[in-house]
Chains A and B, each alone.
Chain A
Amino acid sequence: MNLSSTLPGLIVASSLLPGLVIFFLREGSQFTRTLLNLGGAFAKLVLVGIMIWGVFHEKVYATRWTLAPGLELALHADALSVLFVTLSTILWFVTTLYAIGYLEHSPKRSRFFGFFSLCVSATVGLALAANLFTFVIFYELLTLATYPLVAHRGNTEAIRGARIYLVYTLGGGLALLLGAVWLHAVAGPVTFVEGGVLSRLPEQTYSQLKWIFVLLVLGLGVKAALVPLHGWLPQAMVAPAPVSALLHAVAVVKAGAFGIVRVVYDVYGVEFAADLNLLLPLGVMAAVTIIYGSIKALSQDNLKKRLAYSTVSQVSYIALGTATLGPIATIGGVVHLVHQGVMKITLFFAAGNYAETLGVHKVSEMNGIGRRMPGTTLAFTVGALGMIGIPPVAGYVTKWYLGLGALEAGAAAWVLPVLIISSLLNAAYFLPVLYRAWFLEAPVDWPNEHPRTGWFETTGALFWPPVATAVLALAAGLFAAAPYSPLEWAELIAEREYLR
């Protein structure tokens, strides 16, 4: 088998095929389902491992099918796609374990895990997409695969949240599609190339290119939850915790942010985008989102809602880094794709554990929870400190590079205040939670405590995932300068974007 032409396709298939089979499994066949889930996740891990090694050594992996002349479904691996694929593969693996534990006794598990796998396949597909056409296909597939997950619980609140999600994302998808078609008409098939492809177009197309950029960013901005396109995200937190984790850290929000990175760097080219004066508006939009999300998070008592607004804010760090010209800021933005994912998934896992184990959904119910659930709360603490940017958790690396990049680009006068204000606000909505959890007295009874089943504070399947991702978040910051760290990989990406 020739890996160089099949590996990207195999990586998508490794979750797609098990997912399709799972749909047809009977509800009771738990063993087969778990085997398929974990088998697929493990196979993907191995395949991605091979790909990381290959891309680092400048090997080429590309899978393509020509659908019609000029329309090619193409997957390929470059440094940026490998970063995103690795992130989603590792976090998918952990989330699958978590979801198996979380949904142990709930109905409709085959449907759930089927869509769960499709969701990850779509994410990996858009990460590996070699051209805009393929990207759009997977982007829309992601919308459709996620809707049933948000609606999974089936109560009115869930249906309502899912409907809002669908309206927003289909609208965004339409804008993206329009932009992509228009761009196809202007420039022909658009392949992602490091350094961008549009700068060679004649100057009379520039005004069209600007409008196309607006459409593309609007379409991507919905999933990336840029203000004012963010309205669906806080509503979608009605989904079960593993879905929220996936939505916020791996798939949906990340797909939007990743798309913005792709469009700016590999379609327009960052310098060309700067020449067209497109970066500053994007940067301002990101800055507004960062501050707005944090301010909204302050007043949320529902823990998952607070985390959702925190996502709104944090994901825009990626857009901010992208909108700041220069390799250092690029590193800061791209590395946050990984950092935000690992930290936020930890927080959502922990929130899920509180809800599932003790029935705690609100910040105001979290008094003394650190004593009852020390492992989970320790993981939550790591995630929260990372979000604020306290070393050695990963977040400080992002802040360091974004700040440095802003200085290099001469944009420090507005980027640095945004970073500092956001950090202060993050501290203002996370530290009181930690204070409650560790320093206040626990209530006599928890809202809805499940009886202890084992040696741990909760079941093993719920306990280990947040601990594992917290360790990852800590390691990403602690060993930031080590080989193969997210930071090193982001440096590789920036190097390839700016030197070609």
Chain B
Amino acid sequence: MNAALLVFTWLSPLVLALLAYSRKGRLLPALATLPALAAAALVPSNESVEIPWLLLGVQLGLDDTSRIFLLFTAVLWLVAGAQATLQMSDDSRAGRFRVVFMLAMGGNFGLIIGQDLSSFYLGFALMGLAAYGLVVHDGTESVRHAGRVYLVMTLAAEFALLIGLLLLYQRTGDLTPDVGAIIGAGNIELTFLGLAFAIKAGLIGVHFWLPLAHPAAPVPASAVLSGTMIKAALIGWMRYLPLGESALPEFGGLLLAVGAMTTLSAIPVGLMQKEPKAVLAYSSIGKMGIMSAAIGLIAMDPRLAPAVISALAIYAAHHGLAKGALFLGVGIAKDTGASWVFYLLFIPALALAGAPLTSGAAAKDILKIALDTGYSGWIQMFVGLLFVSTFGATLLMARFLNLVRPYTTDPSSHGAGLALPWLGLLVLVLAFPLVVNGGPPSAMNTAIVIAGIAIAAVIWFYSPTRGVTWVGRVPPGDIFEWILRYIRGAGLQLTAPLTK
């Protein structure tokens, strides 16, 4: 029974994708997630099923961490799939969208429950490539540009992962190496694995595809891209770094520094965006910076491992649900134009900012409590980073709401039927702190959020346009776009072969 559930978690999106092209298959994107939900709820931890004849030898299973990942991932795919069905009913290319959507879903589930190298690699590659079809769905020129950049970076990540996994396998001789066997990675191996996951996470320097691709995709796809797919990086690090067993001071320090820089740079650049989805994309980069930096902390200090890894899974769940709700909300706001959508968007926005009594506050508290298992200057620095990020996220969310507001001018209450799955997701975001208890509100955190809201309110009401000359100064994709403009100015075509 458990074995069948695990197999169907993976199999159902892939097999049902074959039937999803016709209009009759329009419910399949949502239905295909049900085995995954059931598996997350029912399959006991540390039970696994071996399928030695599949790929190079497959092992499927769940542990306490991957269960949390599977749960929020499946929920988000379910909600996004249902919203896609409701909102894309008059899109003539919806059939194609459903097929790539479900292939990406299959890859995403596969890399969570696949415990061997080959199924992780398959999941990573399948998810990345299928999601290209989601990114370029609308087919406009700017979307195609975003698609090209996305594709090149996705392939780069995939091939870096292949080299990293080859080195890992050559060293360990084991397709399902446990944490103990992973100890002793060389610098080359760490570099390639690190690069693959850094690209996927959108860390600074290799982040530029993300603010292009995530806003380009149709809203249900953006929700899963930002909500679940980038978390593959987190899973990769948790699985292929010797976290909790041996210290990697240099690698951990590097990851901490790069993660911190990612967060610190994503906030101002995000504030300068003109598109609500671009703001959300930079906010995702910032949050992935935080999570990656936390992985860096564990890599430096193995004692942190079990507690911080669990806390990170919860943090990822919170971010996935809240970010998914924000993206989906943009689509519903545009489709309905109703002002009630705008007011409901405060729920995930406050959660993402980490306001008291929200999922964000709970997730952050649990992370801080987990960090108490160690003590070092680095941890202090990280906690400082968390506060900065809270402040930044508050401003980003204010900016986001400010940008969504013009879409939602209709005071009537129509369109609720269209948004039913989304409303369900909002209930989950609200209920999150009831399930995951982070303790009493922290005064410091509350003060920071209130300060952020106050500053945002002042800007909103006193000078919505006047004097705000920095808006739009930095295009989505920032440094890469600047480099590209410079190169095009010099008359070179960087992506020429891909346009043929």
- Which positions in A face B, CB cutoff 8 Å? 298-299, 301, 363, 374, 385, 389-392, 396-397, 399-400, 403-404, 407-408, 416, 420, 423-424, 427-429, 431-432, 435, 438-440, 477-483
Tell me, yes or no, whether B129 is within 8 Å of chain A by CB: yes
Taking a contact as CB atoms under 8 Å apart, the answer to whether B122 and A392 are in contact is yes
Known: A389-B162, A429-B497. 19 other contacts (CB 8 A): A390-B126, A400-B118, A403-B163, A403-B166, A404-B169, A407-B166, A408-B170, A416-B163, A420-B159, A427-B155, A431-B151, A431-B498, A432-B499, A438-B96, A439-B139, A477-B55, A482-B53, A482-B54, A483-B53
Query: Which 5 residue pairs across A and B have the least CB separation, nearest first?
Result: A482-B53, A391-B122, A407-B170, A403-B166, A428-B497
A411 → B minimal CB distance (Å): 12
Could you name 15 residue pairs across A and B whose Cβ atoms are closer than 8 Å? A374-B21, A390-B129, A390-B158, A391-B118, A407-B166, A416-B166, A420-B159, A427-B155, A432-B498, A432-B499, A438-B96, A439-B133, A479-B53, A481-B57, A482-B53
B124 → A minimal CB distance (Å): 9
Q: Which residues of chain A are near B96, meaning CB under 8 Å?
A: 438-439
Q: Which residues of chain B are near A399, meaning CB under 8 Å?
A: 162
Taking a contact as CB atoms under 8 Å apart, the answer to whether B500 and A432 are in contact is yes
Q: Which residues of chain B are near A299, meaning CB under 8 Å?
A: 500
B160 to chain A: closest residue by CB: A420
Provide the bound-state CA to CA distance between A478 and B119, in Å. Answer: 10
Q: How would you classify the secondary structure of chain B's contact residues: helix, strand, loop or mixed?
A: helix
Provide the bound-state CA to CA distance between A391 and B169, in Å. Answer: 17
Taking a contact as CB atoms under 8 Å apart, the answer to whether A392 and B497 are in contact is no
Tell me, yes or no, whether B167 is within 8 Å of chain A by CB: yes
Taking a contact as CB atoms under 8 Å apart, the answer to whether B55 and A435 are in contact is no
Taking a contact as CB atoms under 8 Å apart, the answer to whether A479 and B159 are in contact is no
Taking a contact as CB atoms under 8 Å apart, the answer to whether B53 and A420 are in contact is no
Provide the bound-state CA to CA distance between A424 and B121, in Å. Answer: 17
Tell me, yes or no, whether B489 is within 8 Å of chain A by CB: no
Provide the bound-state CA to CA distance between A400 and B121, in Å. Answer: 11
Taking a contact as CB atoms under 8 Å apart, the answer to whether A481 and B52 are in contact is yes
Question: Per-residue 0/1 for B156-182: is the Cβ within 8 Å of any A Cβ (1 yes, 0 no)?
Answer: 001100110011011000000000000
B437 → A minimal CB distance (Å): 41
Tell me, yes or no, whether B56 is within 8 Å of chain A by CB: yes
Taking a contact as CB atoms under 8 Å apart, the answer to whether B151 and A420 are in contact is no
Taking a contact as CB atoms under 8 Å apart, the answer to whether A392 and B55 are in contact is yes
Taking a contact as CB atoms under 8 Å apart, the answer to whether B56 and A397 are in contact is yes
B56 → A minimal CB distance (Å): 5
- A431-B498, A432-B499, A481-B53 known; A403+B133 contact, CB < 8 A: no
Provide the bound-state CA to CA distance between A428 and B158, in Å. Answer: 14
Tell me, yes or no, whether B125 is within 8 Å of chain A by CB: yes
A301 to chain B: closest residue by CB: B500
Q: Which residues of chain A are near B166, meaning CB under 8 Å?
A: 400, 403-404, 407, 416
Question: Per-residue 0/1 for B292-319: is the Cβ within 8 Å of any A Cβ (1 yes, 0 no)?
Answer: 0000000000000000000000000000
Taking a contact as CB atoms under 8 Å apart, the answer to whether A438 and B133 are in contact is yes
Taking a contact as CB atoms under 8 Å apart, the answer to whether A439 and B169 are in contact is no
Q: Which residues of chain B are near A435, meaning CB under 8 Å?
A: 136
A377 → B minimal CB distance (Å): 12
B224 → A minimal CB distance (Å): 19
B128 to chain A: closest residue by CB: A390
Provide the bound-state CA to CA distance between A480 and B159, in Å. Answer: 20
B159 to chain A: closest residue by CB: A420
Among A298, A416, A432, A481, the residue within 8 A (CB) of B56 is A481
Q: Which residues of chain B are near A400, meaning CB under 8 Å?
A: 56, 118, 162, 166
Among A391, A403, A420, A480, the residue within 8 A (CB) of B125 is A391
Provide the bound-state CA to CA distance between A481 and B167, in Å. Answer: 20
B121 → A minimal CB distance (Å): 6
Taking a contact as CB atoms under 8 Å apart, the answer to whether A391 and B55 are in contact is yes
Provide the bound-state CA to CA distance between A416 and B189, in Å. Answer: 13
Q: Which residues of chain A are near B121, meaning CB under 8 Å?
A: 391, 396
A408 to chain B: closest residue by CB: B170
A486 → B minimal CB distance (Å): 13
Among A363, A478, A482, the residue within 8 A (CB) of B500 is A363
A299 to chain B: closest residue by CB: B500
Provide the bound-state CA to CA distance between A236 and B146, in Å. Answer: 39
